[in-house]
Amino acid sequence: MEIIFGIDELKSVVQRVWQENKQYKVWLFFANMGSGKTTFINALCKYLEIEDVSSSPTFSIINEYKSNVVDTVYHLDLYRLKDAEDAIDAGVEDILYSKNYCFVEWPEKALDLMPNDTLNITIELMNDGKRKIIY
């Protein structure tokens, strides 16, 4: 599926992507820096009634949130990791297989650790400032 949207349409796009893909527990977000991964994940967390979302876990690597809709949600940002071994040392593998929802930025840093049954999402920033999401 491919959707092109502006920031004013983000909420409806998040709702659509969630409804079509909530069966997947691990969501992998592929995008260049500044393309909107964190913005999309924060909007998704808000939709899932998570109150304490503030920023990407770039420095902590893993943020854990409580949702009124799906219980526990993990937001992982693997940008600072070198490889899968770093991810294992940080506890990423345990989180990915916890059966909780996991939204992962920069999954390419540890693709070998990712479960087989994942949702792959690509976000591209268009020349006109809109985003294209492919899943």
| Helix, strand, or coil (residue 81) | coil
Dig out the tokens for 83 from the structure: 């490889």
pLDDT of residue 51: 83
β-strand pairing of 26-30 with 62-67: unpaired
- 23 class by beta-carbon count within 10 Å (0-12 exposed, 13-18 middle, 19+ buried): exposed
Per DSSP, helices labelled H in the chain are 10-21, 37-47, 84-89, 92-96
pLDDT of residue 52: 81
Of residues 19, 44, 23, 24, the one with CA closest to residue 123: 44
Weakly modelled stretches of the chain, pLDDT under 70: 53-55, 57-59
Q: Which domains does the chain have, with CATH numbers?
A: 26-128 (3.40.50.300)
Q: What's the predicted TM-score (pTM) here?
A: 0.94
pLDDT of residue 30: 98
